[in-house]
Amino acid sequence: MDEIVVENLSKTFAGGVTAVDGLSFSVARGEVFGLLGPNGAGKSTTVRILATLTQPTGGRASVASHDVAADPARVRSRLGYIAQASGVDRWATGHENLTLQAQLQRVSPALVGARVRALLDRVSLSEAAPRLVNTYSGGMKRRLDIAMGLVHEPSVLFLDEPTTGLDPETRRALWDDLARLRAERGLTVLLTTHYLEEADQLCDRIAIVDRGRVVATGTPSDLKTGIGGDIVTLELAAAQPYAAATLRALDGVTEVNGEGAKLTLRVADGAHMLPVAISALAQSGISVRTASASRPSLDDVYLHHTGHRFDSTDVAHRAAR
């Protein structure tokens, strides 16, 4: 049973910018699903449409079997939405923030106290609850945000860039928290991220989003094996215009990408191709500084489907195209 269904969704803003351009995916109940894409790909706009905060200009979407356009109130009652910027009051305590949120969400007054205590426990903030949020670390604030989104016991949780701005250690700790939350309750989670590693570690399935469209969907491991073979990465002593053509001519090399001195090859068998590639380049008088073979990463999957590297794609870059 699909908890979230998105069909051919689009959104063109009044100024003419098309943020979402015929996007489709679906998320099963209990899944952690990630929208992975660089800045400007249309992730936040998609989530905001699903959370009924903005209207689509085309296509349709439903959450927990309710259409977002036809039945926004029902959709809202089933979802928790955690925006990228925190909505907590820094000058109130964690306990006060959660209690107010429970009241705003019309949790029955008889249940508020117990609900707030249980949530504080679930996000490991019971001890810090009487302190002002202003004294919390970035990770603690984020955990409070998540508790705020869960106060009315939604069946679907939307997290827009949950770990952006957190240091790597705090990010990992939050992944553990999210995995635990989800195991406890069978919550359906839709998150957006521009961290390849986050999508890889945390999500059951992901949709890779590029310029408002889904270019590939699957489990991280299916996506990686789906592009086939291994990756060989070569760093040349100096940029060499004929290197790519030399490598492309070799048996077993299916793709050569890269600019300047760094080249990425998609090959059938990395361990076999590594010495072959180095000696073919040597015969053409090209020397190699470093060489390695690896399994494909999500970055390679992204490159394969979009023709550009994940990190090289952002709004500034697109504006220049």
Ligand X SMILES: Nc1ncnc2c1ncn2[C@@H]1O[C@H](COP(=O)(O)OP(=O)(O)O)[C@@H](O)[C@H]1O
Binding residues for ligand X, per CB under 6 A?
A: 13, 15, 17, 19, 37, 39-45, 315
Nearest residue relative to Mg ion (C-beta): 44
At residue 212's C-alpha, the angle toward residues 13 and 218, to 5°, is 150
Our CB check for Mg ion shows the closer of 36 and 231 to be: 36
Contact map string, positions 21 to 60, toward Mg ion, x by CB under 5 A: -----------------------x----------------
Task: Enumerate the β-bridge partners of residue 190.
Answer: 33, 158
Q: Using the 8-state DSSP alphabet, how is residue 71 labeled? A: -
Inter-axis angle of helices 109-122 and 94-104, nearest 10: 130
Q: Should residue 313 be labelled a site residue for Mg ion when binding is judged by CB under 5 A?
A: no
Rounded to whole angstroms, the Cα distance separating 12 from 55 reads 10
Task: Enumerate the β-bridge partners of residue 68.
Answer: none
Rounded to whole angstroms, the Cα distance separating 244 from 43 reads 34
Residue keyed to tokens 């908890």? 3
Q: Which of Mg ion, ligand X, none binds 40 (CB below 5-8 Å, type-dependent)?
A: ligand X
Q: Which of Mg ion, ligand X, none binds 80 (CB below 5-8 Å, type-dependent)?
A: none
Our CB check for ligand X shows the closer of 50 and 151 to be: 50
| Min dist. Cβ of residue 48 to Mg ion (A) | 9
Q: Which of Mg ion, ligand X, none binds 258 (CB below 5-8 Å, type-dependent)?
A: none
Our CB check for ligand X shows the closer of 17 and 282 to be: 17
Rounded to whole angstroms, the Cα distance separating 154 from 294 reads 41
Rounded to whole angstroms, the Cα distance separating 119 from 69 reads 31
Our CB check for Mg ion shows the closer of 44 and 101 to be: 44
Our CB check for ligand X shows the closer of 289 and 318 to be: 318
Which pairing describes strands 213-218 and 253-257: parallel, antiparallel, or unpaired?
unpaired
Nearest to 60 by CA among 12, 4, 8: 8
| Min dist. Cβ of residue 176 to Mg ion (A) | 24
Q: Which of ligand X, Mg ion, none binds 13 (CB below 5-8 Å, type-dependent)?
A: ligand X
Q: Are 94 and 128 in contact (CB under 8 A)?
A: yes
Our CB check for ligand X shows the closer of 63 and 207 to be: 207
Burial class (CB in 10 A: 0-12, 13-18, 19+), 275: exposed
| Min dist. Cβ of residue 320 to ligand X (A) | 13
Q: Which of ligand X, Mg ion, none binds 42 (CB below 5-8 Å, type-dependent)?
A: ligand X
Identify residues 114-143 at the interface with Mg ion (CB under 5 A).
none
Nearest to 78 by CA among 62, 61, 57: 62
Q: Which of ligand X, Mg ion, none binds 45 (CB below 5-8 Å, type-dependent)?
A: ligand X
Nearest to 122 by CA among 179, 58, 37, 202: 179
Our CB check for ligand X shows the closer of 89 and 314 to be: 314
Residues found near Mg ion in the complex (CB under 5 A): 44
